[in-house]
Every structure is written in structure tokens, then in C-alpha cells.
Amino acid sequence: MLESIFHVNVNCTNFARSMEFYAKLGFKVVRDLEVVGNQQLSEGLRIPDCRGRAVLLMLGDNPRATRLDLIEWLHPKTAGTTYPNLWNAGICRIALRTRDLRKDYEALTAQGIEFWTEPRFFNVRDGREEGFVCCSDPDGTVIELIQV
């Protein structure tokens, strides 16, 4: 039986630039896969003669936490662009939970992360406040910080 999400894959066009961005968000390398690619991977992913620079990243210390699989495809070269908007079909954003949205927003802004807006907050159950804010990674993948 399926039990959890293991990783979410994000393809990038500049590995070093994307690593710098995700490190600012607090991601740490769990496993550096270096350059991956072989016949089994090519067949399984339906990517002809694939080769890519890859790393598994994680937030926090929970060994069962969902990982981010960051890959720059070297062959064939990462192609295309991210969705032009958030109403396209398929995976369109990655939401990262935070306990203190205001604090994290301020800290990340100070590190040069550019958000679309200031955080948006809503009063919910028992007067508690929930909120979110979005930014884009260097290739346009939408990252949402969410306090729930």
C-alpha cells in the first residue's frame, strides 16, 4: 500500500544557481547523486540517453520527510519553461510549511528572495491566523510558504 510522498522533482537550467536558492529556503543535501544516467534510468523515465546533475534535498531532520529531487539535465538538456500561470493542469507549485510566516518572509527577503506580494493572512478557527506568500525559483517554479 502507498504510504507517503517520497520526493518531488524539480528540473532546473542552472544547478548551482538553483542550489543557492533552495539553500536560502533551508534545504540541506541528503544525498548528492552527482551525475546520474544509465539505460535503466533512460528507459524508466522515457528520456533518451539521459544524463543529469542531481541531488536530493530535505527540510528539517525527519528521515521520513518529503525530499526535493533537484536535477539539471545535461543530456538531453533541460528544456522548456515553467507554466505561465497557476491555473494550468498538473503540478504547479510546491507549498512549504512554516510556523512563523512573517519571520521567514522577512529573513528570506533580507537574503534577496523576491516574493510576489507581502504575506496574505486569514483568520480561521478559534481566531488563529493562517497565511501564505509565493515566490519563484530561478527557473520559475512557484514556491509557496504557508502557515497553517
Range of the domain at 69: 7-75
Asked if the structure places residue 87 within a domain, the reply is no
* pTM reported for the whole predicted model: 0.91
Q: Any idea which of 6-15, 28-37, 118-127 has the lowest mean pLDDT?
A: 118-127
Residue 55 to residue 69: CA distance in whole angstroms: 6
Percent of the chain exceeding pLDDT 90 equals 88
**For the residues 11-24, what does the mean pLDDT come to?**
98
Q: Are 53 and 110 found together in one domain?
A: no
Residue 30 to residue 91: CA distance in whole angstroms: 23
**pLDDT tens digits, one per residue of 28-46:** 999 999 999 999 999 999 9
The total domain count for the chain is 2
CATH code where residue 19 lies: 3.10.180.10
For residue 124, pLDDT over 90 is answered with: no
Q: Are 71 and 97 found together in one domain?
A: no
Residue 132 to residue 119: CA distance in whole angstroms: 6
